[in-house]
């Protein structure tokens, strides 16, 4: 009879809780009991908000929410510092995260934000940099003329301006038939999705560079716009020399009206930041640059969207459509962007408080 009782006694000693673990458990329980009512109160308010019952919250609930959030965050910091049990830590981390989102998080979901952005905020940002857009447009036109005149005076300038990937058969001295072949309509769209991705990467890189260089008072952005448009002027001269001006313009317009518009906006956004840094007005340079940077970032989101459109248009309609269809598509896209940015967007902007 003594053996079983001794075994039971030994087993009870094996499962006996060590003093340090028992003390930690008591400390965790005491910590939780002292603050649990505030946590439960915060959790109750959060559940109502998350279920869309914001209107049912009382003024007291709204006023208490930030204070309860700060108390929960403080409790979480103490819990981490004193290494409380994992269950309490997990509960507090989840509670603080939910509360932070309601107190400091965005008030709009991604779809609501996108609808607001495309419904007026993008157009407003573009309209606010109208002076920089005018300057960039003047520079781009001037760059095209400079490229034309340089090549017309000395053909060697063509090889200095035009990248090597464009000088396969499109070189000075090429016959009309050879140049027309480079503008031909493809019979299949096979492999053009990869081509579209490559074009998007290249065009987006030019736009981002034009924007990023604006910090140096906009001067590098102006130089980049001049150089890129000089390339266009050189190629325009080449096709015009063989009587293919209309064909080249139609071939280019299908995507160029979107792509060049996007590059125009990116260069203008970069110059806007540089101009605000050079002439901050009554604000400090940092404050003026921050405000211009925020506006420019919104414009660049729109530029990215336009570049996606341009890549798709360049890879598919430009390659598959005839000359008339290309010109129609290009003209339509130009009218669409102008109306969207300066007509539709203006109505939305005026409607906002």
pLDDT of residue 338: 93
Q: Where are the domains of the chain?
A: 17-103, 112-351
pLDDT of residue 222: 87
d(CA 3, CA 22) in angstroms, rounded, equals 30
The owner of tokens 């009879």 is 1
User: Quick check: 347 pLDDT over 60?
Assistant: no
pLDDT, tens digit (0-9, with 9 covering 90-100), for 5-51? 444 444 444 445 455 555 555 566 677 778 888 888 888 888 888 77
Cα–Cα distances in Å, from 73 out to 37, 65, 97? 15, 12, 9
Higher pLDDT, 136 or 214: 136
Considering only CA atoms, which of 256, 250, 247 is closest in space to residue 228? 256
pLDDT, tens digit (0-9, with 9 covering 90-100), for 135-173? 999 999 999 999 999 999 999 999 999 887 666 788 898
Considering only CA atoms, which of 122, 162, 56 is closest in space to residue 302? 122
Task: Please list, in sequence order, all residues whose beta carbon lies within 8 angstroms of the beta carbon of residue 323, skipping any fewer than 6 positions away.
Answer: 246, 247, 250, 251
């Amino acid at each position: 009879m003594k053996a079983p009782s001794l075994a039971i006694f030994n087993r009870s000693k094996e499962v006996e809780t060590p003093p340090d673990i028992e003390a930690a458990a008591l400390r965790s329980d005491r910590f939780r009991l002292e603050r649990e009512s505030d946590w439960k109160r915060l959790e109750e308010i959060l559940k109502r908000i998350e279920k869309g019952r914001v209107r049912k919250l009382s003024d007291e609930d709204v006023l208490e929410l930030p204070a309860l959030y700060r108390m929960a965050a403080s409790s979480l910091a103490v819990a981490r510092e004193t290494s409380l049990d994992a269950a309490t830590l997990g509960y507090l981390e989840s509670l603080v995260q939910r509360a932070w989102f309601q107190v400091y998080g965005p008030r709009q979901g991604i779809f609501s934000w996108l609808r607001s952005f495309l419904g007026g905020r993008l157009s407003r940002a573009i309209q606010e940099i109208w002076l920089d857009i005018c300057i960039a447009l003047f520079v781009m036109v001037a760059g095209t003329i400079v490229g034309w005149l340089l090549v017309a005076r000395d053909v060697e300038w063509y090889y200095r301006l035009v990248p090597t990937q464009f000088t396969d058969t499109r070189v000075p001295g090429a016959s009309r038939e050879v140049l027309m072949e480079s503008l031909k309509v493809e019979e299949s769209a096979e492999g053009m999705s990869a081509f579209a991705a490559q074009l998007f990467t290249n065009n987006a890189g030019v736009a981002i560079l034009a924007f990023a260089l604006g910090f140096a008072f906009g001067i590098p952005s102006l130089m980049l716009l001049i150089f890129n448009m000089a390339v266009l002027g050189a190629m325009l001269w080449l096709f015009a020399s063989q009587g293919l001006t209309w064909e080249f313009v139609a071939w280019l317009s299908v995507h160029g009206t979107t792509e060049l518009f996007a590059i125009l906006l990116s260069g203008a956004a970069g110059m806007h930041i540089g101009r605000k840094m050079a002439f901050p007005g009554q604000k400090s340079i940092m404050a003026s640059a921050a405000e211009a940077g925020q506006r420019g970032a919104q414009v660049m989101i729109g530029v990215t969207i336009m570049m996606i459109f341009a890549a798709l248009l360049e890879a598919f309609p430009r390659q598959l459509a005839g000359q008339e269809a290309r010109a129609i598509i290009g003209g339509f896209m130009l009218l669409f962007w102008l109306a969207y940015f300066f007509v539709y967007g203006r109505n939305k902007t005026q409607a906002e408080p």
